[in-house]
Amino acid sequence: MKAEYQKNSITLIGGISMGTGVMIGAGIFALTGQIAELAGPWFPLSFVAGAVVTGLSAYTYIKMSNAYPSAGGIAMILQKAYGPGAIAGAAALLMALSMVINESLVARTFGTYILRPFDLANQNVLVPALGVALIVFAYLVNISGNRSVGAFEFAMAVLKIGGIALFGAAALWAGGANLAPSAASNPIPLMGFTASIALSILAFKGFTTITNSGAEMVDPSRNVGRAIIASIAICVVVYLLVAFAVRASLTLDEIVAAKDYSLARAAEPAFGKYGFYFTIALAVIATASGLMASVFAVSCMDAMPTEMKMIPHSHFGMSGTVRSHTLIYTVVIAAILTVFFDLSRIASLGAFFYLVMDILIHWGVYRRLRHEIGARGWVLMTAMTFDFVVLAVFGAMKLQSDPLIVAIAAIAMAAVFIFERLYLSRWTAKSGGHKMG
């Protein structure tokens, strides 16, 4: 692969642009309706809760990045916490798969929105076809070597944030009077609201791309943490603005009915056809640019545990570097998921994989590294507890509404751990002074 980040090539602004660029893709365009379906009229507050849980989780990543700013991102955290054994390898693979799952979420969102003006958004064939086409296009852009990564991501981040903020402010101005009654007359559905936080966390998890780019950032021991905090803060403001705008424009039933394209649906009563087409164009730009940034970032992330011998790698007769191969693996897996799963199931898979990986990171750092990196144990335990509660409640609700996706997630995660156990041939690492727990 020709396009690669180099040391000191990512400034603080570039890191923030990268984080927000990956986060503001499918997160706000596809997940708003799904979150509303679980949380009811209180769904805007789910984004606040998701930001709080994400912020606590980010503490672990920031402390590790400060201590080891250029040593391999999440793969490094896992290896230092568990040693080069099966638990670290499995968690690294879950991390890689969760990011690839996010790409398929973005791709299907792109297909759903681009077909909306033609009333074809529910077509089972066209949505995945357009999603796969976007994935292929993103792959071609990434191997061309012609893009200026930092400038491109900054421009797209400004365009997306500005456009979404404009939509949100205008929709709130047009329908703000409808906000108060819908929520005030309904108690918070505790189980549904807690489960919705799993999807809200999914909308923020793109901050991990910053963690994995520590080696390329200017002054990483300071700027990785700053970029993560700023990206989460920007996204929570944008998400809240849009969530309140959607609630002001539509009833809860309308939001749930249009959950795959809720922003486009919300634009119609507020702005008419011109606002509708503006929102469609914004969604297409946001998802397309987000996928291009994500494909590059995820292929780099996947290469890290591969080069660290944590997950297996085969050239399959291909020439080139490990990173060029992981780019191909990334787009192939994302394309398969785009074809065979709808948005709801893709989001559920991503939430299951990410939360399990996140819990393993917090536990490993708490047990073996917190004193070494100067981390407060209560923060690590609080982050892990929140993750576990959200995962348990989300899993319980999905078990009732869609048991198949729970079974698929459980089987897939079990297969990942078994595969890594066989690949690494041991549960206990004998190098680095760490033992597997």
pLDDT of 72: 61
Q: Are 164 and 242 in contact (CB under 8 A)?
A: yes
Question: Which range has the top average pLDDT, 79-83, 206-210, 363-367?
Answer: 363-367
Q: Considering only CA atoms, which of 91, 75, 77, 55 is closest in space to residue 373? A: 77
pLDDT of 389: 97
Lowest mean pLDDT among 180-184, 213-217, 306-310, 419-423: 180-184
CA distances from 36 to 48, 77, 104, 196, 387 (A): 14, 34, 21, 8, 20
Q: Give the count of alpha carbons within 13 A of 369, CB side only.
A: 27
- Checking if the pLDDT of 337 tops 60, the result is yes
Question: Which range has the top average pLDDT, 253-262, 321-330, 409-418?
Answer: 409-418
Q: What is the pTM of this model?
A: 0.85
List of residues 6+ apart from 155 with CB closer than 8 A: none
- Checking if the pLDDT of 265 tops 50, the result is yes
What number is the average pLDDT over the span 215-224?
Answer: 79
Domain borders along the chain are: 12-424
- Checking if the pLDDT of 325 tops 80, the result is no
pLDDT of 27: 66
pLDDT of 53: 95
Lowest mean pLDDT among 88-97, 186-195, 318-327: 318-327
- Checking if the pLDDT of 435 tops 50, the result is no
Count Cβ atoms below 10 Å from residue 348 Cβ, excluding itself.
Answer: 26
CATH of span 12-424: 1.20.1740.10
- Checking if the pLDDT of 5 tops 50, the result is no
Supply φ then ψ for residue 85, to 5 degrees: -115, -165
- Checking if the pLDDT of 167 tops 90, the result is no
Q: How many angstroms separate the CA atoms of 54 and 290, rounded?
A: 20
pLDDT of 434: 45
Locate all alpha helices (DSSP H) within 308-376, ordered by sequence: 322-340, 343-368, 370-373
The confidence band for 186, taking pLDDT boundaries of 50, 70 and 90, is low
Q: Considering only CA atoms, which of 91, 66, 60 is closest in space to residue 78? A: 91
Tell me the Cα Rg of the chain. 21
- Checking if the pLDDT of 178 tops 60, the result is no
List of residues 6+ apart from 376 with CB closer than 8 A: 370
**Torsion angle (degrees, nearest 10) of CA 260, 266, 272, 275:** -80
- Checking if the pLDDT of 4 tops 60, the result is no
pLDDT of 125: 82
Locate all alpha helices (DSSP H) within 116-219, ordered by sequence: 126-144, 149-175, 179-184, 190-204, 208-211
List of residues 6+ apart from 153 with CB closer than 8 A: 14, 17, 18, 21, 289, 293
Q: How many angstroms separate the CA atoms of 375 and 198, rounded?
A: 25
- Checking if the pLDDT of 1 tops 50, the result is no
E strand spans, 21-69 = none
What number is the average pLDDT over the span 345-351?
Answer: 92
- Checking if the pLDDT of 87 tops 60, the result is yes
Q: How many angstroms separate the CA atoms of 361 and 383, rounded?
A: 10
- Checking if the pLDDT of 328 tops 60, the result is yes
Q: Quick: pLDDT tens for 370-406.
A: 999 999 999 999 999 999 999 999 999 999 999 999 9
What number is the average pLDDT over the span 205-233?
Answer: 82
The confidence band for 317, taking pLDDT boundaries of 50, 70 and 90, is low
Q: Quick: pLDDT tens for 13-53.
A: 878 877 887 777 666 777 888 899 999 889 999 999 999 99
CA distances from 305 to 246, 302, 347, 405 (A): 40, 6, 24, 27
Q: Mapping DSSP to helix (H, G, I), strand (E, B) and coil, where does residue 85 land?
A: coil
Q: What is the 3-state secondary structure of 101-144?
A: HHHHHHHHHHHHHHHHHHCCCCCCCHHHHHHHHHHHHHHHHHHH
What number is the average pLDDT over the span 143-147?
Answer: 58
